[in-house]
Structure 1
Amino acid sequence: MIVRAVVNEFAKLRRLRVVPVLAVMVIGVVVLSCVAFTAPGFMDSVDDPAAQPWQWLLGGMALAVPLVSPVLLAVLASRQVDIEHQGNGWLFSQTFGLTPGYLCRVKFAATGSLVAVATLVQSALVVVLGVLVGITVDFPAEQWLGYTASIVVVNLVLFALHLLLSARIPNQLVGLGTGVLGVFVTLSSIGMPSWLTHFFPPWGYYAVATPVDASGGGMVALDPPYLSLLVLGTVGGAVFLAATRMFDRQEA
């Protein structure tokens, strides 16, 4: 049943213009990440390891992701659920044995997979553009891959949160407003001590995942607490499952 339900959700995605929204997210992150190309002296230092061109791009992406992702993930979740609210889709799905909680889990599986792919694509595109502009210094693969994996986790947890919020509150302006508020929380978290950002999940974890920081005209490598991000993903998944099962009991 779940395979058929996921296939049905993918069919809905074509009508909901989900891919264009994800494309906007990818393009927005890539463009803002590559603002470093316009910095004075950047193009003259693409072959200078001391100038750390890859780290500057990574730092740009660490700022671009929290600026773009929270609002667009809220939009994605809203579009997934609003169609069910407007067309009485919750009741219609129940006639086929799909409870509201089950349907939420299916929506997360379908759209969440696209969110993960989009996050990987935006990271890869920044790398490709860095190569195209002529960066020849050693690529910090471990640092880059660690940040990319961390952002996949944070994006999925945030998407799950918005999916729950949109499912329980028919007024989708609430979810969208929360997405806008999330941008301010995220940007505020960037300037907080690392221990304090842990108290603002999931938005604060964009700052927790930050792998580099500007200091003294250069970039300093940070040591992101990957265990904290793993805990976020585990707890976020458990909360999502528990909440959707509550949806099932409430609608029974």
Structure 2
Amino acid sequence: MTSAALSSAPAPSQRPAAAGTAGSARPAPSARGSRSTRTAPGFFTSVRVEILKMHRLRVLLVTALLVIASVALSSINLFSQSTIKSFDNPAAKPWAMLLLGTAFFNAMTGAVFAAVLASRQTDIEHSGAGWNLASTSGLTPGALCRAKLAALTVVIVPAVVIQNAVLIVFARMMGISVPLDVGPWVTYTILLIAVDLTMCAFHLWLAAVVENQLVVVSAGLLGGFTGAFMLLAPASVARLLPWGYYAVIIPARFVTSGDKTGYEYISPPSAWITGFLILTTLAFAFATHRLDRIER
């Protein structure tokens, strides 16, 4: 074979390369790499979107109905004749009595309240393929759950404050003339908000991993019964269960000493409550990050 024939032979085919600096060749970026550069919407943008969903889902209406029901249940004792006689007696501590009564009903309804809100806010993602739509915009399921919790916080915080404020105003209208014990009521309101948010975080995670929202609501009902039972259980037992913290945070109790009975204020165990809140926060962060590994 002559040198002319060799020179006329076709060169072997080469893979296309992208020109680099100083003539160096680099592989062209893959489509997968280009998708990974897609920026996810900001956290506050996601929260605003969740708040807009609330208007369509009528979450505010549901919250208002739950607050009205809670106030109605908590104020039942105000119509008792024995309670009415103590309205002007500082020694009877009518505000402590009312606080203990509302804490009992909050223990029963708090978990249900959180379950209903979490289920309503999350069910739309299952029925409308919201998880897939969010992922196409770069929002992972875990990040979406965290945005939902932040949005529901905007609802839960004023709901609890309004609930206790309306109850106090109604008690004044019913005739309680003893000065309000501001400290215990403020303490209980703040701690109740914190426990409600932990319950909401748990039910949000449950609503995300389970498509059947009846499971979420049933868990809320079971939590309500457990929370009410923990009011009668020893404090050492109540501190071991999440629903028991509806009882742990109460800054009042009913005491019996010989022939005397009455109400008194106490200091909730701040170390246990702080530990519980930190633990549940870390658990929710871990659980929502695990959601990102679940294929939908």
TM range, normalised to the smaller chain?
Answer: over 0.9
AA aligned to 1:204 is G
Counting only pairs closer than 5 Å after superposition, residues 146-225 of structure 1 correspond to structure 2 as: 146-201=187-242, 203-216=243-256, 217-225=261-269
Which of 107, 114, 121 is equivalent to 1:80? Answer: 121
Q: Distance in 1 between matches of 2:56 and 2:215?
A: 23
Q: How many pairs are equivalent? A: 251
User: Equivalent residue for 2:3?
Assistant: none
Q: Distance in 1 between matches of 2:160 and 2:136?
A: 35
- Seen in structure 2, the aligned counterparts of structure 1 residues 151 and 21 have a Cα distance that, compared at 3 Å, is same
* Unaligned ranges ≥5, structure 1: none
Query: Which structure has more helix as a fraction of its residues?
Result: 1
User: Equivalent residue for 1:235?
Assistant: 279
Higher RCO, 1 or 2 (CA under 8 Å, sep at least 6)? Answer: 1
AA aligned to 2:82 is G
User: Is residue 150–residue 226 contact of structure 1 (8 Å, CA) maintained in 2?
Assistant: no
In the alignment, structure 1 residue 114 sits paired with structure 2 residue 144 = no
User: Is residue 93–residue 264 contact of structure 2 (8 Å, CA) maintained in 1?
Assistant: no
Task: Map Cα deviations across residues 79-107 of structure 1 (whole Å, 9 max, x no partner).
Answer: 11110001110000111111111100100
* Unaligned ranges ≥5, structure 2: 1-41
User: Is residue 231–residue 247 contact of structure 2 (8 Å, CA) maintained in 1?
Assistant: yes
Taking structure 1 as the reference length, what is the TM-score of the superposition?
A: 0.94
AA aligned to 1:122 is Q
Partner SS state of residue 249, structure 1: coil
Q: Compare 223-232 and 4-13 and name the one that shifted more.
A: 223-232
Task: Map Cα deviations across residues 35-83 of structure 1 (whole Å, 9 max, x no partner).
Answer: 1211113333322101211111111111110122211211111111110
Partner SS state of residue 240, structure 2: coil
Q: Distance in 2 between matches of 1:31 and 1:224?
A: 26
Question: Which has the higher Rg, Structure 1 or Structure 2?
Answer: 2
Q: Distance in 1 between matches of 2:272 and 2:162?
A: 24
User: Equivalent residue for 1:41?
Assistant: 82
Q: Distance in 2 between matches of 1:148 and 1:227?
A: 18
Q: Distance in 2 between matches of 1:215 and 1:24?
A: 34
Q: Distance in 1 between matches of 2:142 and 2:277?
A: 19
Counting only pairs closer than 5 Å after superposition, residues 117-156 of structure 1 correspond to structure 2 as: 117-156=158-197
Which of 122, 126, 130 is equivalent to 1:89? Answer: 130
User: Equivalent residue for 1:8?
Assistant: 49
User: Equivalent residue for 1:51?
Assistant: 92
